[in-house]
Amino acid sequence: MSIAFGAPGRYIQGPGELLRLPEHSGTYGDRVFAIIDTYFYKELSGRLAEAYRSKGGTISCVEFAGEITKEVIGRFRDMAEGACVIIGIGGGKTLDTAKALAAELSASLIVAPTSASTDAPTSAMSVIYNDNHEHDDVYYYVKNPDLVLVDSQIIADAPVRFLAAGMGDALATVYEARATLATGSPNYINQETGPYLGTRTAVAIAELCGDIVFEYGEAAREANEAHVVSEALEAVIEANTLMSGLGFENVGCAASHVICNGISATPEGDKALHGEKVAYGILCQLMAEGNTQELAKVREFYRKVGLPLTLADLGVPATEENLRIISSDTKNTEWTREPFEMDDEKVYQVVCAVERLGKD
């Protein structure tokens, strides 16, 4: 199999970068359409309009709230007709909507995450849901965002829980990369002409991602609590966003993300953040791999930064029914990217073992 690598065109990270959007978007064109998360809409739409006005330009801003569905994407596409730069500002769903719009309009794409909670910003894909918040589809695009713009001060002002969740998603990158590598499984690049294996470059990025999170995670959490943009926080923002994003897309996911999806399928599965569920998934993956040394290291780290050790920590009761949902459909998921045979019963036993350990 050949190897392949994909990445955003540019990545810029630092305090105050969001209000420099007029300069950043000017590189790509002057008809600018921004989708802004409902939480930030009121404040940012006004400040951005002012920033553009002061540079002699304009920006159309619309509010994003709710779910990313095919219908919602269609509605925004009609509003954005004629735009040559699409900007998404907010969380994963807002950014994924902006990606879909830019692809449909063949417009340039700027993605500005307002938290470092997932590694979605850099990737060339969107996860689509239906009105019942159930997973519907995944859209793959021919290119990654043209610019990923991360304003560190906005991340520093976001709730600490988001940063911790992002560390969970980032840590999974290294363990899933190792599994993917061991099984020679393909990555997510250029699905149209794939499959391809990950590059050595991507594997190195995934490993560095894990190192940075372990080294700076605790200090970054403290900085976030104090709303201070420190070196440690900058390092973890880069790990959570750029390294984790490049890592997962260019190497591939494995068991940690399957467990996350399983938790999402339980009735209480929407209480926790993606990265928190993935963090729990890491515990299950390492347990399944029999990697007790790494499991102990990860659990110690979780205690320091506030990541879950049990399903109860995620707001999900460890009922027999939920455990069965989490360990179902093993044969058709990324469990097959682990270097050993798994079935539903074995996964069930693994989750039970993680629960027992968590209660100690």
Which residues contribute to the site for Zn ion (CB under 5 A)?
Answer: 169
Please give the Cα distance from 94 to 91 (Å, whole number).
6
CB of 260 to Zn ion, least distance (A): 7
For residue 170, the minimal CB distance to Zn ion (Å) is: 9
Looking from the CA of 274 toward its CB, the CA atoms found within 13 Å total 17
- CA separation for the pair 315, 357 (Å, rounded): 17
CB of 256 to Zn ion, least distance (A): 8
Task: Find the shortest distance in angstroms from Cβ 240 to Zn ion.
Answer: 10
Considering the complex, what minimum distance in angstroms separates the CB of residue 148 from Zn ion?
A: 16
Q: Return the sign of the alpha-carbon dihedral for residues 101, 16, 225, 297.
A: positive
Contact 204, 192 (CB under 8 A): no
Long-range contacts of 288-297 (CB under 8 A, 24+ apart): 288/255, 288/338, 288/340, 288/342, 288/346, 288/347, 288/350, 289/179, 289/338, 289/340, 294/175, 295/357, 297/214
Q: Which residue lies nearer to Zn ion by CB, 169 or 238?
A: 169
Give the residue with the Cβ less far from Zn ion, 151 or 169: 169
Q: Which of 210, 290, 241, 244 is nearest to 113 (CA)?
A: 241
Nearer to Zn ion, 80 or 307 (CB): 307
Q: Closest CB to Zn ion belongs to which residue? A: 169
> Which residue, 85 or 179, is less far from Zn ion as judged by CB?
179
Q: Select 169 or 249, whichever has its Cβ closest to Zn ion.
A: 169
Tokens of 49: 């309009």
CB atoms within 10 A of CB 159: 12
The residue among 37 and 169 lying less far from Zn ion, judged by its C-beta, is: 169
* Shortest Cβ 86–Zn ion spacing (Å): 23
